[in-house]
Structure 1
Amino acid sequence: MNEMETGRRFLVIILILVAMGAIYFVFVKEPESVSVNSTGEVPNPASLYLSNLKDLEGNPIAMDENKLVFLNIWATWCGPCNMEMPGIQKLYDKYKNHKSVAFYIISDEDAETVNPFIARKGYQLPFYQYAGTYPEALDGNAIPRTYIIHKGKILAEQTGASQWDTPEVVSLIEKNISEI
């Protein structure tokens, strides 16, 4: 076996290991559990509600500060974002007609990228675009990032994929909307 064949075999082995790792993290690894804040306090509660939101047709949208807010920041190219989206859809389906709950699924990608993606996947979620700097309490450079916000407090937050239609999340939402 010459040096070139050895190099190719080594490269194939490395590629197989990388592919196996990617498959593990996308399909096998359990999503992290949601972390629930004990106090949820932030310095300026009003700063949790984003301005400059637009729907995918470009119309300005105001976040409803009087509702329990489920806020997810994602991207079409993000594997963990795609992994958690079916659970978000199930949670949304449960609460989409509830007058005290609002969902905001936010990307900084343009509508020409997002619309074909959601049509292909069949999601029926309220997708929005955001242009601007995130408030400090919602800032981060990782996606997906998800927050459950109520009365100016972050009740739960998660960076990375999670299963959002669990009994624990439903219980958290139910407990807080019963107080509205």
Structure 2
Amino acid sequence: MIRKIIVLAVLILASKSFAKDILKDKFGNPVKLPENKLIVLNFMAYSCGHCMAEIPTIKKVLREPEFKNNFVVIAFAIDGKQNDFKDPEFPTYANHPENQVRFPILGTPTTYIITSNGKKLITIYGALTEENFRKYLKEALKKVQSAPGRI
């Protein structure tokens, strides 16, 4: 009986730590996800012209009143050598390959909108325009509002 309790406790602790370690930087460090916000998870490459061109679009749209208090962006550079936090509106981590197991990337840019516990709400393959990005953000908000308490 005690053995079953110990096994159960280990499984519960392991599942909680996994939830907190949804994403890792290149060096294996867990990336802290903000609570009570939806996350725009952007996989990009510095060598990708479309990726670089969409960064101002993402930043601009996320500054809009409808979105600025509901979303935060976290980027992963698949060709990144170091984490880069010079731009607080677009923090970029050097990507760890394990991230691509949970969030498959068919090419760059690839963007997911996820909850703070890693639940995928929207998957976007290819570059974002202001118009389609707004549409995806609104769709993500509707999904969360229809299932309250699940951010």
TM-score range, shorter chain: 0.5 to 0.7
Whichever residue aligns with residue 143 of structure 1, its letter is T
Give the match for residue 22 of structure 2. 49
The answer (yes or no) to whether the contact 2:24–2:99 under 8 Å persists in 1 is no
Indicate yes or no: 2:98 matched with 1:133: yes
**2:56 equivalent to 1:86:** yes
* In 2: Cα distance, 1:165 partner to 1:53 partner: 32
> Does structure 1 conserve the Cα–Cα contact (< 8 Å) formed by 2:25 and 2:93?
no
Q: CA deviation at 1:68?
A: 1.4
- RMSD (CA atoms): 3.6
SS in 2 for 1:61: coil
Q: 1:102 to 1:144 in 2, by over 3 A?
A: same
Question: How much does 1:153 deviate?
Answer: 2.8
Report the TM-score when normalising by structure 2: 0.60
Aligned partner letter, 1:149: I
CA contact (8 A) 1:81 1:144 kept: yes
- Say if 1:71 and 1:165 are closer, same or farther in 2 by CA, change over 3 A: farther
Equivalent residue letter for 1:50: L
In 2, the alpha carbon distance for the partners of 1:50 and 1:65 equals 14
Instruction: Tell me the alpha carbon deviations over residues 124-179 of structure 1, each in whole angstroms, 9 at most, x when there is no partner.
Output: 42222222322534123511110011254322111211225544124224425543
Partner of 2:4: none
Amino acid corresponding to residue 129 of structure 1 in structure 2: A
2:115 is the alignment partner of 1:168: no
What is the number of residues matched between the two proteins?
124
Cα distance, 1:63 vs structure 2: 2.3
Q: Taking structure 1 as reference, are residues 124 and 140 closer, same or farther at Cα in structure 2, changes over 3 Å only?
A: closer
TM-score, normalised with respect to structure 1: 0.52
Match of 2:107 in 1: 142
Q: Whose relative contact order is higher, 1 or 2, with alpha carbons under 8 Å and at least 6 apart? A: 1
- Does the 8 Å contact 2:121/2:140 carry over to 1? no
In the TM superposition, structure 1's runs of 4+ consecutive aligned residues that sit over 6 Å from their partners are none
Show structure 1 runs of 5+ residues with no match.
1-44
Gaps of 5+ in 2: 1-17
Match of 1:110 in 2: 81
Counterparts of 1:136 and 1:60, CA distance in 2: 15
Residue 13 of structure 2 is matched in structure 1 by none
Q: Which has the larger radius of gyration?
A: 1
